[in-house]
Structure formats: structure tokens, C-alpha cells
Amino acid sequence: MLPSPGLIFQSVLDGVFLGFLYSLIALGLSLVFGVMGIINFAHGDFIMLGSYLVWILANGLRSDPSFMSLATVPLFFVIGAAIYMTIIRPVLGKEPLIQIAVTVGIGYVLQNFALMMFRAEPRAVQTTYLNLYLNLGVVSIHLAKLISAFLSLLIVLGVHYLLTKTWVGLAIRATAYDREVASLMGINVGKIFLLVFSLGIGLTGLAASLWMTFGQADPYIGSSFGLLTWVIIALGGLGGVSGLIASSLIVGIIQSLTMTLVSPTVSLAIPYVVFIMVLWFRPQGLFGKV
Amino acid sequence: MNPRNVITVILPALTVALIGTTIPFLVGFNQYYVLLALQSVIMASIALAWNIIGGYAGQLDLASFAYVGLGGILATMLMTEYNVTPWLGMFLGAGVSAALAFTIGFPLFRFGIKGVWYALSTAALVVILHEASIMFLGPFDYYIPFVEGWYYLRFRTWENLYYFSLVVLAFVISLNLYISRSKIGYYLKAIREDEVAAEAVGIDVRKYKLLALVTYASILGFIGYLYIVSQRTFSYNTFSGPQSVYVAIVGIVGGLGSVSGVFSAALILKIVEEYLRGFLGGVLPGLHLLLFGSLLIIVGILRPGGLSSLTDALTKKIRVRIQRWYS
């Protein structure tokens, strides 16, 4: 039985919305990887931690999850700075295996901390103002997804502007390009690293509050987010924002179509199969420079 | 290999196995402790198999339970569905896991994928198998129907299976020791330290990485049946991402490429896990894993050499003390 075109269109649309949120998540990770060369396997777990925080706050204050970003972003910025100082700085420039091991350790700690505190049941926020559907005949648009996609795009473009049009952005790009020359030019590389890592973690706080407007928190979403964002970076290469958004949309659409056409249980497997294929045949990513 | 090397390879493995055989007698055949010993021996064997690809070859493989699950579920289902003896099923499981590792590893190494991308593709492999097996097995736990005897490698009590897994452990230990003393081991260590330099001195990097991967995967495929029997059940959750990470934690905390370090880390972590689970598991599930994660961070920052580098430093200190004492 062939699904109706309306259903396919609907699931592509949902995939696009999801894709924009993924691009926000992947942005932080690709900044940390591109500028500092740090391989962060715990990125998704910060989103998991953030979504539990949003769950607690939003249910406690009986308010919309998206407002909780006002609390989570600054808090995660500080947490990011603290983790950079204590754990990331000692392993800067060490071999990949050690970096991966340390960040896998962070992820493991966060995941099991959540398991310990909140048990394994999925949790969703009850009060959200955005849980409305706009019916447009063929498709219906979930307002929460639309707004989170829009905000994600806005923030991604904002960070892009920061990177390309400001002095700080110039310093960050210079550091990414050549750490030693940048420090000879009077850029405080240590401060840039601190800023980039805190920004990367801070963005996960924002992504978590957007996710909670329609998603659920459980201890294991972190590992799936983490792997998916790495898949996005592998597909996009470290070329820039346009490649990042394009590959996020591809992953989002593939995932959403798999969910509709095949089965929700394999919604992660298909993007990973695509990922392994891309790694084999185009290691620099679909949009990366050679 | 000359006879002296044979002794250095076989003797430690035999000693461990012989000490191991006394444990059921020491605990008075208490089934809880024998099962605990069995699970520790299986985990130690898995971690030592990981040591070949992760420790010697330096490739952070996060797919161990893809191979354990595939080999184990194959052998178990052959037994329950077609009454095929696990003696055959385990070797078939090893073969299938090795074939999977070859299919994944050949293109990966052919296209020079290493570091973070290798780790990611192996992590993705576990998820792919996990989700694909929900399609095939359904979201159920399978219990193995009760059958008994050496034909099925299943018994009323755990001792016989424990002795069998000791044999497997002894084999894995001696294989590790053999590799570390042979040409292959030196090649793999050279690849771990600097792949470009290793290639420059004429080592076929691709071939030896693939050899390490396939060896590791076939051992895990063989152990799979033992693992499933010791857990009493299997499901799609046997393809477990967190468990695969746990294996890598044991390998790194023990010390990359150190047989005694990985072996003792596996035992110590298992005992700590069981202790914490017994006392706090009802209140705080996941506490032991949280501690292991922190341990991994601490080892990564302070002692990338792991447990073995710590004991090396200690023995050196003691030796110096003793020498001073005599002089």
C-alpha cells in the first residue's frame, strides 16, 4: 500500500522542522570540534540534562518550556566554562582516544546521574502554550515545532553573523585556522577556547528548552542526539553554516520519512546507515571542502 | 616461536585458570558467588578481546556488544529452534561476527577512517543492529527453555559453565600475550603510536588493523552464547550501546595494551559494581556506572596509562626502596 502524498508531505515537513533544531544542536558541537579540535561525545547528554532541568522548571513554574531557556542558557554557559577548566583543558591536544574516553566518561556520568535521579521513564512538560495545530488542509503544522525550528534558524544565523562579522568571530576563526599564529597575533587562545566551549554547551541549553516544547526527556536521548549530531557533522563537513543546515535537514527528513514509511523503531538506524555509506565514499562530507 | 616464549605465553594463562578453578570450592559452591565469578570471567574475556583492537591497535571500538549479541543470539536461536549444539553454534557465531567485522572494517580501513570517525561508525553499528533486531525479534525478552547437559552447555548449577569459561579466558589471555610478543603485536603498537610513520616503514596498516578487528570480533562472537546463558535471557537489548562503552572503559582504565591491567580492572570493576548494586541499587540505580564514568575521566586526565601504569610506578618505587635498603 502506498502512503498518500499528503502523508509524505507532512512527514517531510516534520523532518524539516526537526532538521532546523538539529542544526542548532550540531552548531555547538561543530564549533567545539572545528575550533578546538576537541572530540566531544557528551554533547547530546548535555541536551538530556537540559531537558530534565526544563522539565523541572516548567512544571514547577507552570509555564512554557521555551521561556526556560532564559535560565538554562546562562546556567549551561557557566557549566560549560567549569567543565572546560576542569576536564577539557588538561586533554587539549592529546590523542583522540584519550579525548573521546574523557568525554564518553562525562556522558556516562550525566546519563547515569539522570537515571539515578529521574529513573528511566520518559517525562514531558504538561503546560505548554504552543501545543496547537494549524490545519492547512493537506498538512497540519504543530506550532511548537514550527516555532522551535524558526528560533533555531534564527540563532544559527545569529552565531554565523557573530563568526563572520565581528572581531570576536574573526579571532575565533583565526584560532581555528592556526592556533599558534593566532596567539602570535595577540589573540588569547585560552580565552577563545573557554568562550567557544561555553558557547557550545550554552547552545545545548537552548536546544533542550526548544526540544521540550514537543519532545520528552529520558536518560538515553542524549546518546541518540549525540550520535545524530556527529552524523550531521560528518555529512556537512566543517565547511560552514550552509553545509551544516543542509545536512541537518537531510538527517531530519530521512529520520521523519523512516518513521512514517518504515517503522518508528528504526528511525535512527537508517540515518546511521547513510552515515556509514557517506564515510566510505565521501570522507570529507557531502558539503565539505576537500 | 621458541620454547621459552611458549612458556611466557601459556604459563600466566594456566596460572590464572588454575587459581580460578579453586573459587567454587572457596565459596562452598554458593551459586550466587559462582555466577558472579562466571560473569566476571566473561567480562574479563570480552575486555581482553577488546584489548586487541583497542589496546594494541589503538582503535577506539565501541561495537563490542554488536558482535557479542550477533554471535550469541545466533548460537542461542540455533539451539532453541533447531536443536543445534552450541559447540557448533558458538563457532558459527564467531564466524558470523567475524564476517560482519570484515564487511564493516574492510571499507572503513580502505578509506582510511580512524580516530573519532572510527569510534562513531562502530557506535552507529550497535544502534543499527539494536534497531534492526527489534524488527526481527520483536520487543520481547526471550528466555531460554531449560535443557541440560554438555550437549547444550547448560547445567542445573553454574560450576561447569564457569570452568568452561575459564578455558576461554585462558585462551584469550594467551592470545593477548602471544600477540604482544609477536611481530603482529609490534606492528599494531606501531600503528597505535603513529599510523603514518608505521606505513612509512613498510607496515601494511590496513591488513593488520583488519586482522586485529576480525580476531576481536570472532572471539566476541564465540563468547556471545556464554554471555547470554549467564544473563539467562536475550532480546534486542543485548545489542547494548552502554555495555559496549563499558567494555571500552574497562580497557582504558586497565591500561591500553596491558593484559594484567585490563584483567584486574575487569575483576575490580565487576566486584565494585556488584557491591554497589547490592547495597544501593534499589535506592540509586546507575550509581556504579556514574562512578565508572568519573573514574574514566580521572584516568584520562591524570593517568592515560591506566591501572597498569600505576602499578608499574609502584613496583618501580618499591624496587628502588629495596635497592637502597641493600646498599
Residues B32-51: pLDDT tens digits? 899 999 999 999 999 999 99
> In degrees rounded to 5, what are phi and psi of residue B149?
120, 165
pLDDT at B64 over 70: yes
B301-310: pLDDT as tens digits: 887 777 788 7
Exposure string over A160-186, b if 16+ CB within 10 A, otherwise e: beebeeeeeeebbebbbeebeebeeee
pLDDT at A98 over 80: yes
Task: For residue B127, give how far its alpha carbon lies from the nearest alpha carbon of chain A (Å).
Answer: 6
Rounded to the nearest 10°, the torsion over CA B215, B220, B221, B224 is: 170
Residue B297 corresponds to which cell in the numbers above?
Answer: 575521566
CA distance A40 to A87: 12
Q: What is the pLDDT of residue B27?
A: 86
B288 belongs to a structural domain: no
Q: HSE (CB half, 13 Å, CA atoms) of A223?
A: 22
B276 belongs to a structural domain: no
A137-158: pLDDT as tens digits: 777 888 888 888 999 999 999 9
Nearest to A159 by CA among A146, A176, A148, A173: A173
Report the percent of chain B where pLDDT is more than 90. Answer: 37
Top-confidence range, A132-146, A234-248, B29-43: B29-43
DSSP character for A217? B
CA distance A136 to B133: 38
**Burial class of residue B81 (count of CB atoms within 10 Å of its CB; 0-12, 13-18, 19+):** exposed
Q: What is the mean pLDDT of chain B?
A: 88
DSSP character for B256? T
B252 chain-A contacts, CB cut-off 8 A: 97, 101
Kindly state whether B197 is in contact with chain A, defined as any CB-CB distance less than 8 angstroms: no
CA angle A201, A221, A32 (to 5 degrees): 25
Q: For residues A13-22, give the mean pLDDT.
A: 92
Exposure string over B34-59, b if 16+ CB within 10 A, otherwise e: bbbbbbbbbbbbbbbbbbbbbbbbbb
Question: Of A226-230, B149-153, B161-165, B201-205, which gets the smallest average pLDDT?
Answer: B149-153
Task: For residue A259, give how far its alpha carbon lies from the nearest alpha carbon of chain B (Å).
Answer: 12
Q: What is the pLDDT of residue B281?
A: 62
**ipTM of the complex model:** 0.83
Higher pLDDT pick, A61 / B278: A61
Q: Where are the domains of chain A?
A: 9-222
- β-strands A133-136, A139-142 pairing: antiparallel
Nearest to B67 by CA among B105, B90, B102, B101: B101
Handedness of CA B134, B51, B74, B34 (dihedral sign): negative
A31-55: pLDDT as tens digits: 998 888 888 889 999 999 999 999 9
Task: For residue B220, give how far its alpha carbon lies from the nearest alpha carbon of chain A (Å).
Answer: 22
Q: How confident is the model at residue B168 (pLDDT cuts 50, 70, 90)?
A: very high
Q: How confident is the model at residue A285 (pLDDT cuts 50, 70, 90)?
A: low
Kindly state whether B249 is in contact with chain A, defined as any CB-CB distance less than 8 angstroms: yes
B110 chain-A contacts, CB cut-off 8 A: 280
Q: Which residue has the cell 548460537?
A: B75
Kindly state whether B280 is in contact with chain A, defined as any CB-CB distance less than 8 angstroms: no
Is A258 strand, coil or helix? helix
Residue B280 corresponds to which cell in the numbers above?
Answer: 544501593
B18 belongs to a structural domain: yes
Nearest to A214 by CA among A123, A135, A131: A131
B293 with A107: Cβ contact below 8 A? yes
Query: What is the CA A163 to chain-centroid distance, rounded?
Result: 18
Residue A124 backbone class (left: φ over 0; alpha: ψ -120 to 50; beta: rest): beta
Q: How confident is the model at residue A290 (pLDDT cuts 50, 70, 90)?
A: very low
pLDDT at A218 over 70: yes
Question: Of A281-290, B36-45, B172-181, B190-199, which gets the smallest average pLDDT?
Answer: A281-290
> Which domain, by its residues, includes B151?
3-240
User: In this complex, which of A98, A108, A116 lies closest to B287 when CB atoms are compared?
Assistant: A116
A115 chain-B contacts, CB cut-off 8 A: 285-286, 289
Which residue(s) pair with A123 in the sheet? Answer: A217
Domain count, chain B: 1
| Residues A40/A193, Cβ–Cβ less than 8 Å | no
Report the percent of chain A where pLDDT is more than 70. Answer: 94
Top-confidence range, A62-76, A86-100, B58-72: B58-72
B31 belongs to a structural domain: yes
| Residues A112/B286, Cβ–Cβ less than 8 Å | yes
- Which strand (E) or helix (H) includes residue B142? strand B142-143
Higher pLDDT pick, B109 / A130: B109
Q: For residues B136-142, give the mean pLDDT.
A: 83
Exposure string over B246-256, b if 16+ CB within 10 A, otherwise e: bbbbbbbbbbb
A41 chain-B contacts, CB cut-off 8 A: 119
Nearest to B263 by CA among B27, B46, B19, B26: B46
| Residues A59/A126, Cβ–Cβ less than 8 Å | yes
pLDDT at A107 over 80: yes
* Residues with Cβ within 8 Å of residue B292, at least 6 apart in sequence: A108, B246, B249, B253, B269, B273
Kindly state whether B138 is in contact with chain A, defined as any CB-CB distance less than 8 angstroms: no
**Burial class of residue B77 (count of CB atoms within 10 Å of its CB; 0-12, 13-18, 19+):** middle
CA distance A85 to A180: 20
B194 chain-A contacts, CB cut-off 8 A: none
Task: For residue A278, give how far its alpha carbon lies from the nearest alpha carbon of chain B (Å).
Answer: 11
Query: E strands, A21-89, where?
Result: none
pLDDT at A6 over 90: no
Q: Which residue has the cell 570517525?
A: B117
**Burial class of residue A189 (count of CB atoms within 10 Å of its CB; 0-12, 13-18, 19+):** middle
Q: How confident is the model at residue B110 (pLDDT cuts 50, 70, 90)?
A: confident
B113 with A283: Cβ contact below 8 A? yes
User: In this complex, which of B116, B121, B242 lies closest to A96 when CB atoms are compared?
Assistant: B116
